[in-house]
Structure formats: C-alpha cells, structure tokens
Structure 1
Amino acid sequence: MYDDLNLYIDGAWRAASDGGTRGVHDPATEDQLGTIAVATEADLDAALSAAQAGFAEWRRVGTWDRGAALRRVAQLIRDRTEDIARVMSLETGKPLAEARGETRAAADQFDWYAEETKRIYGQIIEGRTPDSRMQVIYQPVGVVAAFSAWNFPALLPARKIAAALGAGCAVIVKPAGEAPGSCAALVQACHDAGIPAGAVGFVTGNSQMIAEKLVRSPIVRKVSVTGSVPVGKEILHLAADGVKKVSMELGGHGPVVVFDDVDAEAVAEACANTKFRNCGQVCISPTRFYVHESKYDRFATRFAEVARGLKLGRGLDDGVQMGPMANRRGLTTIGEMTADALDRGAELLAGGQRPKDLNHGYFFEPTVLGRVPDDARVMIDEPFGPIAPITTFRDYDEVIARANSLPFGLAGYVFSNDLARATRAWEDLEVGMVGVNEMLLATAEAPFGGVKESGMGREGGSLGLMDYLDPKYVKIKLAPKD
C-alpha cells in the first residue's frame, strides 16, 4: 500500500549508510504508512559526488536528446497517474481527484521543458569595429540543490527537476518528510526514462542537516527552495556564503479585492471552492477577502453556504471534497487564529472547530469569518489552512493600501467587470501573480513566483529555465586580412 523509501544516489536506490529511518504518517488516521531513510553526511557526500559526475555527462547531451528523455519522463508519470495519486492522497490527505490533477500537472512540467530545452537562445551583438564579433550564450549553472514542500508533493519538485534537467543541470532533490512518496515516483520515472546516473538524486532525513550540507558544498552552484519565509531566509543566509544562485518561492497571503460591479454570489462561490482546495494549504490560496461594503452580505452568505456544504473525509473515500490538514502543528495554528479573530470581534459564519464525526486525523471544519479586523492574526500571518477571513472596504485607494500592507507578495486576485478599474488594480497590487476574474493561476507555461518576502526568481514558463542558466559573453578579435 505504501512502500518504505530509500535514497536515490548514483542511479540506484539504497538505504542510509547507518540504516536510519523515520516514519511517514497518514494525516487522516495518524497511522504510520511507512518509513523514509535518514541520510547521513556520508550519504550526502556520495550524492554530491554522483551529481558532479552526472552533471559532466548530462550537460553534453544534445538538446533534442534531452527533450526526448524529458518527454519519456512525462509519459511515464501519466501512465502511473493512479498509483502516484493514491500515494499522494495517503500521505497528504488530499482528495483523490485533486491528487490525479496534480500528477498530471507534474507531467506537464516535463513536457514543457522537453520543448524549452531546445529554445535556449543566445544573442548576437553587433561589433563596433569590422574585425570584432560579440555574442552571448547560456550554459547550465551546474549542480542544483532543490528543496520542496509537502502541500504539492509532486508538482513542486517537478517544477525544479524538469527545469534543471532541461537546462542541462544535475539536481539533488530533498522532498518534505511528510510527503516524500510522490517525489520518489518522479525520480523513478527519471530513472526508467534513461536519465543518466547522478543527474538526479533524492535524499531524505534531517532537513536542517541536509540543507546545511548541500548548500555549503562547493559542488552545488544553484539552490531552489519552496517553503516558508523563515526557512527561505535561513537557506538564503547559507547560500550567501558561497555566492550561490538562488530562487525561492516562499509564503504568501493572497488578497482578493471584490469590487461593486460583480455578481457577488457567483464570485463568492468561485472564491470558496478555490479557498478550500487542498484544505487551504496552497501558497497562492486566496486568504484575505476585501469585499465592497455594498456586496458584503450577499458575498459572505454564499461563501459560508459553500463552506458548510463541503464533504470532509479521507482523500481516498468517494465524494470527499476536503481532506485533513497535513500535520498537527497546522491544525493548532488554525484553531488559534480562529479564536483570536473571534476575540477581536469577528463573526463566525461557518465552521470554527474540529468536526465531531471525525475522531482521528488532523481535520478542521471549513471556516468562514466575517467582518474581520485588520489587526487579527489571520489577516497578518499566512493562514495555511481552511480558514477564510472576509472584511469590507469603501474606496479604491483604501483597499489597495490594505492589500499591499503586508511583507508578502506572491499572488493576488481582482474581481471587476470595469476594465479600467481592474487594470489599475492588477497593476497596483504588489504581487508576482494576479488573477483577474480568475483564481487558477498555476500552469506549466507561465512563470510562478513572488516579490517582497514571498521570494525571488521564477518557476515555470520560459523564465523558469533561465534561473538554471548562466549567461556567458564572448568577444572575438579577428585576425587581420592577409
């Protein structure tokens, strides 16, 4: 049902050198599913050495052949969708339909970069003199250390692995310990597709030790992180000592601005269904709802109705629309945020507690809070869970200032049928991604990332490849004519 997982080093799966393991648990039942290997420093040294050799081989593979290999990976992932989705649902609790969709999205990453690897274009610069030639080429940065999160355990590492391989880099991926199985399946697909030994590595265990070892190693020249803001800052400090190339997709707190010219009920339904996807554990989740005061009552009422109608349960069960949170610490945080908002005068419109009919697992009811003050914790700290705070606004300048008031800047959303106002709003929001009358932003062909403390660099799209490449400028002086 769930396999114990080893390390993947130099083209082979192997146990930790000292035999160490750690449990992986089902968040819906709290039962242990299996174990992961706990890498030692010796194991990481072996992974780094293998990656160095793998990079030397993989970077010399022609772009058409690289692309063909990545397409094979994509097809293998699609062929194994059911198996991968089942593992993902077990280790994250997300509904099986969501897990299938994520698995297909992970395959899309490999398909996209199978094509982009053939489009790493350089630049010709016109020389100032007839005997000079200037050009810019792009070369793979080298060995990449990639750190992924648990909320999308296949898609997030796929973005990193596919882009790194597409650029000609080698990559050592460290998935989240809560949900490593989906990433392991991607690595197995790379192995079966014929990606050379060492070009892809997979290590699990002590996150802090692994991060320090990999990021400090002179072999690693690029670091990619998806995680929380505090984790990102720690890794950024480590990378600075070695002047490493870094890209980071960190936390967010997505503002949603709902103007007075929209169908409030329809917008509320779209927002609620998106908010509670993956139990609200989505970095670009809509998390602060600013609704024009004339539309508040209808919006809040419909939002709460949708929340109360969601079916909770184990992700593998039929008809389940929302599973558990991934871990107990998140469950505790959402409970504390709810209590804090209510203490500050917010209205409880739906949920607010653990469901009485689910005695095991990390379940929390889809929770909707109305007229939430801006100083409530849920309006300031990222609420990574099934909690939706709604508040009101009166005029444009006021709501944009409130939406931009936090240090986060990942995603934002605007709902308006007025083209001029919607355009002003998406331009004025201080975020890396904006949905206008749309909430589903992530797709393989578009750049994904934020500004301010939400990160740097981009994953996905053509820009995602550039973070794994270094430009090299060449100037040539021609010999004099005879």
Structure 2
Amino acid sequence: MGYEADLKLFIDGVWKSGEGRDAHTVIDPVTGSGIAEVPYATAADLEEAIAASGRAWPEWRSTDVEKRSAILHKTASLLRERVDHIGAILTQEQGKILAEAKLEVLGSAQLFDWYAEEVKRDYGRTLVRPAGQLSRVIRQPVGPTATFSPWNFPIYLLAKKVAASLAAGCTVISRPPHETPGCATELFRALHDAGIPAGVAQLVHGDANLISTTLIASPVIRKVSFTGSTNVGKHLMRLAADSMTRITMELGGHAPVLIFDDCDLEKTLDMVVPQKFRNAGQVCVSPTRFYVQSGIYDAFLKGFAERTAKVKTGNGLDADTKMGPLANGRRPDAVGALIEDARAKGARVLAGGEKGDQGFFFQPTLLADVPNSADIMNDEPFGPVAVTRAFDTFDEAIEQANRLPFGLAAFAFTENGRRANLIGDLVESGMVGINTFAISVADAPFGGVKDSGFGSEGGKEGLESYQVVKAIHQA
C-alpha cells in the first residue's frame, strides 16, 4: 500500500505547496526511510493566516449555530467515509496498527458530532434580581485561536481542539507535528469539503519555534491550546505571558496503576497488557508504573510476562501485527537508555528490553523490582515498557501514586467499593480509571493537575475553554 497523502498548507481557503518553500521529509517508522515531503510555512504564510483568521472571526461567531453544526456534522460524515484512506496514512506516518488508526479516525468524527450538538445546549444563566431588573451570564467565543498537537494521536487530539474551537464560534490556526502531516491534512480537507468558510480553519506545517512565537505573539490570537511535553508547555506559557494569551496545557504524565490483591487477576492482566502496548506505549495516559500488592506480585509478573511475549510486532498495515514501531528515530535510543539505567540499579528484565533490527522498533518490555532511584520511575518512558514493584499497604500505594509531580491519569484495580471511593478521592490526578481504561471519551473532560498541565479538553469543559464569560446587568 503506497503513501497517498497530498501534503499542503491550507491558508485562507486555499491549498498551498511548493513555491520556493522549504520542505521536511516524512519518515516511515517501519523502515526509517523517507516517504514524502511536507511544505513548511514561511513567515509571510503565517501573517496571511493570522490576517485571515482575524478577518473571518466576526462572521463565523455570528453564523447561526445550526449552520455551524451542519458543517461539523458533515466533517464527521466525511471522516467516516474516508476512514480506510486516512487510517492507512496515519499508520504509515506514525506506526500504530491499522485497527488503532481507524478507531482514532472514527473517534475524531465522534468529537465533531458531539460538539456540533453540545454548542446548541450552551444556555448561560439568569440571576435573581428585583422586579424590573435583569442580570444574565453568557459565554462568548474567545476569538481566533491557535492549536499545537502531538504525533502520538495526531488526528484525534487535533480534532479535539479544532471541533471545540469551531463549535464555540472561534476561528483556528493549527500546527500539527512534522512526523504526521498527512492525516492532519486530511482532517482539514474534510473541513474544506464540508464547506468551512475561508479563514475559519487553517493548517500550517512547519518550524515549531517560528510558528509558536509568531502566533502567540500576535494580538489577533486570543487562545492557545497545546498538547505535548511539560518542558515545551512551560516554554509556551512564558511566551503567552507577554501577550496575555489564554492557554490550555495538556502536558506529560507517568500514570500509576494500583493492583490490589482482591482484583480478578486474570481479567486484570487481560486488560492491562494490551493497554500498556497500545500505540507502542506512546500514550500520555499509558499505564506505566505498576504497583502490585505483595501477595499477588509474583503471579502478576508471571502472567504479564507470558502475555508480553505473545505481542507480535511488525508493520502496522499487516493484519496480524499487535504493535508497530515507535514514531521517530529518537525514541528507541531514549527508551533503551532508561532500561539500561534501571537494570544497572537493580531492576530485572522479564521480557523484551532490546531495539529491533530495523526502523524504529522496540520490543515490548517488562521490568520488575524497579527502584524509585531509577530514571524510568521518574521520567515518562513514552514507549512499550511496563515498570513494576510491590507494595504492602493501601497508604503505601497512595503515597507511591502521588510521589511524582505529574498528575494526568491514574488507574486502579480492586473489587472493594470503599477502597475504590478512597482511591478516587486521594489520588492526585486529573483523571482516574477504576477497573477501566476508558477515560478519553467525547463527553468527559480530559486534563491534568500539577506538572501535567491545566484546563480541560473534551466534554462541556472543552467547549468552555474556547469561551469567555460575560455578566450583563440591566436596571
């Protein structure tokens, strides 16, 4: 299957490429070789996009909500019609298996449908006042926005930002990662084909520093949404401070998983192992730090290792592949270095632990008895590595779960209802999954605390993040 993405910029309703622009090579992570060239936006392109976004906003915010919703629904329909084509592009760019890629495209369509309807329920409220007086609170679109999304879920996380922004009545300029420009381009092609007006939604590939500094510094841009590493997020926050630009930050995590001895162990293992190696562990909420109660620790390790050995790696386009390569050439070396550090500090490698022979592959890996001094216990591996250690008491498990400055997602497996309630209250995390990993859904907020960022995407909270609150008092 050949790579069939038509890589272009989308500025002010026009597709652009070539014309003397620099280009970046798109790499196939299976082979490590180039498969296409993506054009990079120039400074002039960015200024054109900013001007178009500012010009288009008044008309878009005034567009009837039913008309806005119809465009979002049509976009969702086109994504579903094109799921095979877009899914194949995503797999070839990013490496995840085709089944996961298609689900991501369908999940993106669901976001457009959900926000198309949710904006119709944006009612505001009226305050109690004496007769003849009126006080009301309304939400209005914040204005032109800029989004920056990562390569691990390149179309879903882009859709989560774009769908909410457009539903709220904002215009949007999006910069996707250079690793995965094709599936992002297809999302904007669906918007274009659905009838989005010129300047309302724009796509600019290119240099992250040039694009971020230009967009954030512009007085036209009123809101920035970023998903990525904590370090980059803090850098963008400093830029936003100078322009007083509103920001939403969904940053890194290092998800703990608390496994209690009253869980259904076989059922739990059948859930956690596929989830750990989904997208080769390149998931910001991937279960990573497994804390297992001492009485079942050995049985847990045995079952986890047996299942890990059966995870078939290969080209994500092959039907029998269960895990594809990592997304770029930096990741295998980074993951390998963390494993070697853990091994040197006393961890045991029970499965995997090595790079593949070609491309950006890394074996599904299980580490046991990992000390807190190991780097991998403190730095998110963002790869196919599960790290484990035993605990004895409930208080110890909570202490370990909350030990790090991250707080994006946490998980626990227990059949004790009171314990489950306490876990939900005591774990410092923006999202907690108890006997489930289904925490990223269209109608629920997604976001973290502490160094994992602030603000939410998804749910009504995601719509509200693209709005400002106004109180109107009339006597």
TM over 0.5: yes
2:375 maps to what in 1?
377
Alpha-carbon distance, 1:263 to partner: 2.2
Deviation at 1:17, TM superposition (A): 5.5
TM-fit CA distance, 1:144:
0.6
The match for 1:71 among 70, 73, 91 is: 73
| 2:309 is the counterpart of 1:311 | no
Deviations 1:15-55 (A, max 9, x none): 26632211111011112111111111111000101111221
Could you tell me how far 1:243 is from its partner in structure 2?
A: 1.1
How big is the alpha-carbon RMSD for the aligned residues of Structure 1 and Structure 2?
Answer: 1.0
Q: Aligned residues, how many?
A: 473
Asked if the contact 2:313/2:322 (under 8 Å) is kept, the reply is yes
Shift of 1:427: 1.1
For the residue of structure 1 that corresponds to 2:222, the secondary structure is: strand
AA aligned to 1:247 is T
Partner Cα separation in structure 1 for residue 68 and residue 302 of structure 2:
52
Amino acid at match of 2:51: S
The two structures have a TM-score, normalised by structure 2, of 0.98
Out of 17, 25, 30, the residue aligned to residue 23 of structure 1 is: 25
Q: How does 1:150-165 map to 2 (within 5 A)?
A: 150-165=151-166
Structure 1, residues 84-130: CA drift from partner, whole Å, max 9, x if none? 00000000011100001101000000000010111111110112x43
1:426 corresponds in structure 2 to 424
Letter in 2 for 1:325: L
Aligned to 1:198: 199
Q: Which residue of 2 aligns with 1:41?
A: 43
- Measure the CA separation in 2 of the matches of 1:144 and 1:180: 20
- C-alpha contact (below 8 Å) 2:188/2:203 kept by paired residues: yes
SS in 2 for 1:276: helix
CA distance in 1, matches of 2:94, 2:115: 27
Partner of 1:138: 139
Separation of aligned partners in 1, 2:467 and 2:382 = 33
**Residue type at the aligned position of 1:269:** D
- How far the C-alpha of 1:2 sits from its partner, in A, is 3.0
Letter in 2 for 1:399: A
Q: 1:342-373: CA deviations, max 9, x gaps?
A: 11111111001023xxx321000000001111
Of the three residues 110, 120, 123, the one matched with 1:121 is 123
1:100 aligns with 2:102: yes
User: Do the aligned residues in 1 keep the contact of 2:21 with 2:42 (CA within 8 Å)?
Assistant: no
In 2: Cα distance, 1:331 partner to 1:247 partner? 30
In structure 2, the partner of 1:333 is: 334
Contact 2:447-2:455 within 8 A present in 1 as well = yes
Secondary structure class of the residue paired with 1:215: helix
Q: Matched residues in 2 for 1:56 and 1:324: separation?
A: 45
Contact 1:265 1:298 in 2 (8 A): no
Is the partner of 1:205 in helix, strand or coil? coil
1:480 paired residue number: none
Unaligned runs of 5+ residues in structure 2 are none
In structure 2, the residue matched to 1:386 is 384
| SS of residue in 1 equivalent to 2:309 | helix
SS at match of 1:59: helix
Distance 1:116 1:18 in 2: 43
Residue 266 of structure 1 aligns with which residue? 267
Give the AA of the match of 1:3: A
- How far residue 4 of structure 1 moved from its aligned partner, in angstroms, is 4.6
Is the 8 Å Cα contact of residues 269 and 302 (structure 1) preserved in structure 2? no
Q: Does residue 233 of structure 2 align to residue 232 of structure 1?
A: yes
In the TM superposition, what whole-angstrom CA distance separates every residue of 1:357-409 from its partner, at most 9, and x where no partner exists?
xx321000000001111111111001100011011000011111111011100
Higher alpha-carbon deviation: 67-76 or 261-270:
261-270
User: What amino acid is the match of 1:105?
Assistant: G
**CA apart distance, 1:207:** 0.5
**Aligned counterpart in structure 1 of residue 408 of structure 2, from 410, 413, 433:** 410
Provide the C-alpha distance between the structure 1 equivalents of 2:449 and 2:201, rounded to a whole number of angstroms.
29
> How far apart in 1 are the matches of 2:412 and 2:6?
45
Give the aligned residue type for 1:47. A
Structure 1 CA distance, aligned partners of 2:282 and 2:170? 30
Query: Given the alignment, which residue of 47, 59, 62 partners 1:60?
Result: 62
Q: TM-score, normalised by structure 1?
A: 0.97
CA contact (8 A) 1:267 1:299 kept: no
Per-residue deviation, 1:265: 2.8
Q: Give yes or no for contact 1:17–1:40 (8 Å, CA) kept in 2.
A: no
Q: Which residue of 2 aligns with 1:400?
A: 398
Work out whether residues 17 and 43 of structure 1, in 8 Å CA contact, stay in contact via their aligned partners in 2.
Answer: no
Within 5 Å, which residues of 2 pair with 1:160-171? 160-171=161-172
Tell me, in whole angstroms, the C-alpha distance in 1 between the residues paired with 2:42 and 2:71.
31
Other-structure match for 2:276: 275
Task: Return the offset for 1:180.
Answer: 1.2
CA offsets per residue over residues 418-471 of structure 1, 9 Å max, x none?
Answer: 000111012110000011001122111111111111111111111110000111
